[in-house]
Amino acid sequence: MDKVFISQLHVDTIIGVYDFEKESKQSLYFDIEMLSDIKPAAANDDINLALDYSKVSERVIEHCTAKPVELLETLVEQLAQIILTEFNTPQVTIKVSKPAAVAQAQTVGVEITRAKVSN
Protein backbone atom coordinates (compact mmCIF):
# COMPACT_ATOMS: atom_id res chain seq x y z
CA MET A 1 0.00 0.00 0.00
CA ASP A 2 1.03 3.53 -0.70
CA LYS A 3 0.58 6.50 1.62
CA VAL A 4 -1.16 9.78 1.03
CA PHE A 5 -0.28 12.34 3.68
CA ILE A 6 -1.14 15.78 4.95
CA SER A 7 1.49 17.53 7.03
CA GLN A 8 0.93 20.32 9.54
CA LEU A 9 -2.67 21.08 8.60
CA HIS A 10 -3.45 24.16 10.70
CA VAL A 11 -6.87 24.58 12.29
CA ASP A 12 -7.93 27.26 14.77
CA THR A 13 -10.71 25.99 17.01
CA ILE A 14 -12.10 25.95 20.51
CA ILE A 15 -10.77 22.92 22.42
CA GLY A 16 -9.90 22.20 26.00
CA VAL A 17 -11.24 21.25 29.41
CA TYR A 18 -10.48 24.48 31.24
CA ASP A 19 -12.73 27.53 31.15
CA PHE A 20 -9.99 29.79 29.77
CA GLU A 21 -9.53 27.37 26.85
CA LYS A 22 -13.20 27.69 25.94
CA GLU A 23 -12.96 31.48 25.60
CA SER A 24 -10.74 31.72 22.54
CA LYS A 25 -9.56 29.62 19.65
CA GLN A 26 -6.32 27.67 19.82
CA SER A 27 -4.13 26.40 17.02
CA LEU A 28 -4.03 22.68 16.29
CA TYR A 29 -1.71 21.06 13.76
CA PHE A 30 -2.56 17.73 12.12
CA ASP A 31 -0.31 15.20 10.44
CA ILE A 32 -2.44 12.61 8.66
CA GLU A 33 -1.27 9.47 6.83
CA MET A 34 -3.74 7.36 4.86
CA LEU A 35 -3.04 4.08 3.13
CA SER A 36 -4.09 4.01 -0.50
CA ASP A 37 -3.36 2.23 -3.74
CA ILE A 38 -2.40 5.14 -5.96
CA LYS A 39 -1.80 3.03 -9.10
CA PRO A 40 -5.30 3.47 -10.64
CA ALA A 41 -5.21 7.26 -10.21
CA ALA A 42 -1.65 7.47 -11.52
CA ALA A 43 -2.34 5.22 -14.52
CA ASN A 44 -5.36 7.27 -15.56
CA ASP A 45 -4.17 10.68 -14.32
CA ASP A 46 -7.61 10.97 -12.71
CA ILE A 47 -8.29 12.78 -9.42
CA ASN A 48 -11.56 10.86 -9.10
CA LEU A 49 -9.54 7.69 -8.59
CA ALA A 50 -7.25 9.29 -6.02
CA LEU A 51 -7.50 9.77 -2.30
CA ASP A 52 -7.99 13.53 -2.50
CA TYR A 53 -5.95 15.15 0.27
CA SER A 54 -7.61 18.49 -0.44
CA LYS A 55 -11.07 17.07 0.33
CA VAL A 56 -9.75 15.28 3.41
CA SER A 57 -8.22 18.56 4.62
CA GLU A 58 -11.48 20.44 4.06
CA ARG A 59 -13.42 17.77 5.95
CA VAL A 60 -11.01 17.83 8.91
CA ILE A 61 -11.25 21.63 9.15
CA GLU A 62 -15.03 21.51 8.86
CA HIS A 63 -15.36 18.94 11.64
CA CYS A 64 -12.91 20.67 14.00
CA THR A 65 -14.71 23.98 13.75
CA ALA A 66 -18.31 22.69 13.76
CA LYS A 67 -18.74 21.56 17.38
CA PRO A 68 -16.07 22.00 20.04
CA VAL A 69 -14.91 19.04 22.11
CA GLU A 70 -12.78 19.09 25.23
CA LEU A 71 -10.19 16.38 24.56
CA LEU A 72 -7.74 15.87 21.72
CA GLU A 73 -8.39 12.15 22.21
CA THR A 74 -12.07 12.64 21.38
CA LEU A 75 -11.28 14.77 18.35
CA VAL A 76 -8.78 12.38 16.77
CA GLU A 77 -11.08 9.38 17.31
CA GLN A 78 -13.91 11.27 15.59
CA LEU A 79 -11.66 12.31 12.72
CA ALA A 80 -10.32 8.78 12.24
CA GLN A 81 -13.85 7.43 11.91
CA ILE A 82 -14.81 10.18 9.46
CA ILE A 83 -11.77 9.54 7.26
CA LEU A 84 -12.22 5.76 7.32
CA THR A 85 -15.92 6.06 6.52
CA GLU A 86 -15.97 8.88 3.98
CA PHE A 87 -12.71 8.32 2.11
CA ASN A 88 -11.26 5.30 0.36
CA THR A 89 -8.60 4.29 2.87
CA PRO A 90 -8.30 1.12 4.94
CA GLN A 91 -6.08 2.76 7.57
CA VAL A 92 -5.38 6.23 8.90
CA THR A 93 -2.81 7.62 11.31
CA ILE A 94 -3.57 11.01 12.81
CA LYS A 95 -1.21 13.07 14.93
CA VAL A 96 -2.53 16.28 16.44
CA SER A 97 -0.31 18.85 18.13
CA LYS A 98 -1.48 21.59 20.47
CA PRO A 99 1.44 24.00 20.85
CA ALA A 100 -0.10 26.34 23.44
CA ALA A 101 -1.14 23.61 25.91
CA VAL A 102 2.02 23.45 28.03
CA ALA A 103 4.12 26.59 28.28
CA GLN A 104 7.37 24.70 28.85
CA ALA A 105 6.89 22.42 25.81
CA GLN A 106 7.12 23.28 22.14
CA THR A 107 4.00 21.17 21.58
CA VAL A 108 1.99 18.31 23.04
CA GLY A 109 -0.51 16.02 21.41
CA VAL A 110 -1.95 12.64 20.58
CA GLU A 111 -1.28 10.17 17.78
CA ILE A 112 -3.51 7.22 16.83
CA THR A 113 -3.70 4.64 14.07
CA ARG A 114 -7.09 3.16 13.18
CA ALA A 115 -8.13 0.70 10.50
CA LYS A 116 -11.41 -0.33 8.96
CA VAL A 117 -12.89 -3.37 10.62
CA SER A 118 -13.15 -6.20 8.12
CA ASN A 119 -16.28 -8.33 8.19
Catalytic residue positions, numbered: 98
| CB-based contact 24:48 (threshold 8 Å) | no
Pairing of strands 26-36, 91-98: antiparallel
Q: What gap in Å lies between CA 94 and CA 56, rounded to an integer?
A: 12
